[in-house]
Each structure stands twice: as structure tokens, then as C-alpha cells.
């Protein structure tokens, strides 16, 4: 176990072969950083825990200035019990932009719950799967009903395509890196592989949101797209049927976030993601273990606070409140830092 941000470093010995597999660009750069200029919080990401018990789900709140963006909302019961109270606590009663990563219930059902609680959704973004794509977890009528519920209550509907960009401020935007439209020429895909793959840029940071990206499109993206990011929102709750290791290598993350339950992450289902992140010494936060997780971005640094931080099922543990330096940042920014 490696503990960073304090004086303690209890990392076990790493064999020579593993050392060679860790790219220098990914060397862990965590420290107590000085304040550069008049740094202030530019953006906040709340990875809300909708992963209690046996259920899994995604729910993310991004706040830039006075603009609130949400990506997914978990199952209805999880949203009702955890997301709705969290939004109330933050005082959020209006969401400017809500993205449904893909039409599986553990990502969109909570939308109706937050609207029923009085939260106004101004813009709703989602894709309807092509008729050639389906799986046992996708119910077209159920999904349509939920989207109509939002539309009937004032949400403006958008169906974004690859290349879509949403500017949030002078130093922040969301870009749609990929939105799969249907099957590949020689391979079929399922609804998970239709997940909107979005990159949020905030100051020196980039965060890749991946929905439940699966192996087929995950491999295609690794081969064909620039998916690099400082932070990876790990696909599919960290469980099996996940984007392959090649995708993780293409992202080259310095940090990772997992909206998944403890039983998935710590068990056999979490082996692929947990092994790759462990071998590369990537600090990781998991909803089902750490609870709600809040990420604050301040220029070249980030501070993370988890509801109940722990080193369970992690190779690297970061205590709450530690300032973390951006990894894989542009050379010009590195020059400003004196790197």
C-alpha cells in the first residue's frame, strides 16, 4: 500500500519488470503544492454515490461558475435515497445541462426522481439506439417514457453527435469525443458501447467520462481516437464487460474514479480495471468504498475529499484534502510550473 500526500510511503517493492511497464509520463506527482498566483476553485465535480447494496449506477454533478451539468442519475431507488438529498444539500434546484450517457436504467431512471423533487432540467442530451442495436437491459418504451417525462416538464431535447462541444466558461468545456451510431462494419455492439464518451476540460485538467463503454468500441477508440485525459471515469462501474486494457493505456490517466459498488470493485468482476490501475500505481476513488467524492479544480492543482476515505482494495491511497498536481499537462503549462 502506498500512501501519498503525507510523509508516509509504505509502497511494497515493485519488481523490475513492473517498473518498466510504468511510463515516466505517469509517474505519480502528488504533493502538498504551493498556491500559484491567486488560485481559486474553477470547477467542482461531485461523483455521487448511487452504489449502495447490490445496485450500481452513475451520477455526476459538474459545477462551473453558476452552471450545473449532470451526467446520469442512477437507478430510481438510489436517486431517491441518495442523489435527491445530495442535490438538496447543495441547494441545486436547476440543472442547465443533463446528459444520459446511454439508455440503461442505472443511468437514466433517477432523472424522473430529481424532476419530481422540483429540480428544473433546462437541456436534456441523449442518443436513441439504432434499431440494429439492442440488448436485454434496454427497454425502448421505458426509456422513451422517461425522456418524455422530462420533455413534458420543460426540458429541451438534444441528440448530440461526435464533435459536439458545450462551452461552460472561458476555461472549461465539454466535448463529445465519440458517440457510436450503430454496429461496426464487421462487429455488432450492444447498448453499453453506445455510451457517450465525453471529455470535460477545466483549467489544466481533463476528465474522460465513459458511461459503460465495452470491449468492442473501447478497443476501436484505443486504435482510432485521442482519448487521453488526466482523470478516467472508469467504464461500466469497474466491472467485467469493460473497455480493454488497451483503452486504459490510450487514456494514460494519472487518476481514476469508479462509480461502482464495493462488491464489484473488490471482487472478481473488478479484476481487469483494478489490476491495470494497480500495476500503474493510479490513485483511485470508488463510490462503494469512499462514498460521495468531491473533486475541486484550481488551475494546475486538484483537491479531493471523499465521504469516508479508506485504503481498501487500493494500491495507492490519497488522504482527504491533499493538493494534487495535474499529470500529462501541456508542455507550456509545465514550463510555467518550472518542471
Residue 215 grid coordinates: 470491449
Count Cβ atoms within 10 A of the Cβ of residue 161 and give its class: 0-12 exposed, 13-18 middle, 19 or more buried.
Answer: exposed
Sign of CA dihedral 18, 21, 24, 27: negative
In terms of Cα–Cα distance, which of 282, 190, 187 is closest to 234? 282
Q: Terminus-to-terminus CA distance in the chain, angstroms?
A: 27
Query: Got the DSSP string for 72-96?
Result: EE--HHHIIIIIHHHHHHHT--EEE
Q: How far apart are CA 110 and CA 113, in angstroms?
A: 5
Q: How far apart are CA 291 and CA 304, in angstroms?
A: 12
Residue 269 grid coordinates: 468482476
Note the pLDDT tens digit of each residue in 215-265. 999 999 999 999 999 999 999 999 989 999 999 999 999 999 999 999 999
Spatial CB neighbours of 307, under 8 Å, sequence gap ≥ 6: 49, 290, 291, 292, 293
What integer pLDDT is reported at residue 325 of this predicted model?
86
Q: How far apart are CA 247 and CA 301, in angstroms?
A: 25
What integer pLDDT is reported at residue 19 of this predicted model?
34
In terms of Cα–Cα distance, which of 211, 127, 205 is closest to 173? 205
What integer pLDDT is reported at residue 9 of this predicted model?
30
Phi, psi of 153, deg, nearest 5: -110, 25
Hunting for cell 451539468 — which residue is that?
69
What integer pLDDT is reported at residue 32 of this predicted model?
38
CATH class belonging to 41-337: alpha beta
CB atoms under 10 Å from CB of 276, counted, come to 20
Q: Is 294 helix (H, G, I), strand (E, B) or coil?
A: strand
In terms of Cα–Cα distance, which of 208, 133, 194, 206 is closest to 159? 194
What integer pLDDT is reported at residue 228 of this predicted model?
97
296: left (phi over 0), alpha (psi -120 to 50) or beta: beta
CB atoms under 10 Å from CB of 128, counted, come to 12
What integer pLDDT is reported at residue 39 of this predicted model?
58
Ranges of the chain whose pLDDT falls below 70: 1-39, 328-339
Spatial CB neighbours of 331, under 8 Å, sequence gap ≥ 6: none
Mean pLDDT of the chain: 88
Amino acid at each position: 500500500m502506498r500512501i501519498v500526500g503525507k510523509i508516509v510511503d509504505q509502497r511494497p517493492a515493485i519488481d523490475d519488470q513492473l517498473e518498466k511497464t510504468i511510463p515516466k509520463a505517469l509517474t505519480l506527482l502528488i504533493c502538498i503544492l504551493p498556491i500559484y498566483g491567486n488560485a481559486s476553485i474553477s470547477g467542482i465535480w461531485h461523483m455521487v454515490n448511487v452504489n449502495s447494496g447490490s445496485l450500481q449506477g452513475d451520477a455526476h454533478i459538474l459545477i462551473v461558475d453558476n452552471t450545473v451539468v449532470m451526467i446520469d442519475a442512477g437507478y430510481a431507488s438510489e436517486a431517491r435515497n441518495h442523489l435527491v438529498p445530495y442535490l438538496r444539500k447543495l441547494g441545486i434546484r436547476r440543472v442547465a445541462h443533463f446528459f444520459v450517457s446511454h439508455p440503461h436504467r442505472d443511468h437514466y431512471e433517477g432523472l424522473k426522481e430529481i424532476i419530481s423533487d422540483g429540480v428544473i432540467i433546462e437541456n436534456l442530451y441523449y442518443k436513441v439506439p439504432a434499431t440494429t442495436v439492442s440488448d436485454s437491459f434496454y427497454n425502448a418504451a421505458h426509456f422513451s417514457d422517461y425522456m418524455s417525462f422530462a420533455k413534458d416538464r420543460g426540458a429541451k431535447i438534444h441528440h448530440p453527435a461526435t464533435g459536439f462541444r458545450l462551452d461552460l466558461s472561458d476555461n472549461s468545456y465539454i466535448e463529445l469525443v465519440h458517440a457510436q451510431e450503430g454496429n461496426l462494419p464487421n462487429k455488432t455492439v450492444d447498448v453499453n458501447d453506445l455510451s457517450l464518451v465525453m471529455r470535460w476540460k477545466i483549467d489544466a485538467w481533463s476528465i474522460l467520462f465513459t458511461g459503460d463503454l465495452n470491449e468492442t468500441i473501447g478497443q476501436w477508440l484505443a486504435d482510432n481516437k485521442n482519448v487521453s485525459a488526466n482523470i478516467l471515469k472508469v467504464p461500466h462501474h469497474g466491472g467485467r464487460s469493460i473497455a480493454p486494457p488497451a483503452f486504459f493505456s490510450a487514456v494514460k490517466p494519472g487518476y481514476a474514479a469508479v462509480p461502482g459498488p464495493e462488491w464489484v470493485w473488490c471482487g472478481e468482476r473488478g479484476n481487469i480495471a483494478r489490476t491495470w490501475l494497480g500495476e500503474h500505481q493510479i490513485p483511485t476513488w470508488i463510490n462503494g468504498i469512499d462514498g460521495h467524492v468531491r473533486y475541486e479544480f484550481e488551475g494546475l492543482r486538484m483537491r479531493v475529499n471523499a465521504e469516508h476515505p479508506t485504503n481498501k482494495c487500493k494500491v495507492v491511497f490519497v488522504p482527504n484534502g491533499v493538493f494534487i498536481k495535474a499529470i500529462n499537462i501541456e508542455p507550456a503549462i509545465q514550463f510555467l510550473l518550472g518542471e
